[in-house]
Amino acid sequence: MELIGKFSKIDIEREIISPIQIYLMNLLNTQDVVYNVDSEVVNEINSSPYCKTLRFVSERKDLCQAYGRELSKSAIYYKKPFEDICPGGLALLSMPIFLDEHTVVGAHSVAISNTPRSKFSVYDIASQFNIDAHILWDAVKKTPLVPKPILKIAREQVISATELMSKVLNRIYTLKQSEATMAKKYHAIEEIFKSHNISK
């Protein structure tokens, strides 16, 4: 782990965070991205045909990626949540991921709203992303609406999921630190034995 001020550069393991992201996407069917402290993507899950179309089919797939990264940078730097409307018309919430009370290790960004359902809005977005409006509208129709009761608790679910990520990462880091300390102690004892020519 490399400490950078009150930011911490650690390896966020995809296998650890992915189940939490999948749980959220089973509720929201949108987009979930986890970034490390440098705002590099650790893991990205796109459950929505709409998000997948903008992210992987459009000629301006960089728009979503760049916007999400900038929002994550703000969450990491200021150590607080940021919410805004992404270029695809979805409400995007970016939360800092803490290793402890003061140390940030990354950000968790999740789309927490339904896709635009107005043809005018969708066609305007299609123009921005350089994609055929009919293709994007077809993706909208294939994207299920998130029930209103779920949308009402979406923000709380993202907050809870991010807190869970923080707790899991903290626990793993603490265990690794303990293992490293034990290894150093063992090595020190081994050196003492060797220096006194005491066989093991």
Looking at this protein, which amino acid is placed at residue 40? Answer: E
Is 60 exceeded by the pLDDT of residue 168?
Answer: yes
pLDDT at 129: 96
Over the chain, what is the mean pLDDT? 86
pLDDT attached to residue 15:
82
* Per-domain boundaries in the chain: 2-175
For residues 186 and 126, the model is more confident at: 126
The CATH architecture that domain 2-175 belongs to is 2-Layer Sandwich (3.30)
pLDDT at 95 over 70: yes
**Mean predicted confidence (pLDDT) in 114-127:** 95
pLDDT of 101 > 70? The answer is yes
Inform me whether the pLDDT recorded for 11 exceeds 90: no
Res 127 pLDDT > 90:
yes
152, with CB counted inside 10 A (0-12, 13-18, 19+), is: exposed
Answer yes or no: is pLDDT of 199 > 60: no
Q: Is the pTM of this model over 0.85?
A: no
| pLDDT number for residue 148 | 86
Q: Which of 164, 155, 151, 132 is nearest to 57 (CA)?
A: 132
- What are the φ and ψ backbone dihedral angles of 163, each rounded to 5 degrees? -65, -40
* 3 state SS of 197: coil
**What is the reported pLDDT for 1?**
43
Q: Read off the tokens for 123.
A: 């066609």
For residue 36, name the pLDDT band (cuts at 50, 70, 90). very high
CA distance 29 to 112: 9
The tokens 């603490």 sit on which residue? 174
pLDDT band at 34 (very low <50, low <70, confident <90, very high): very high
Residue 8 reports pLDDT greater than 60: no
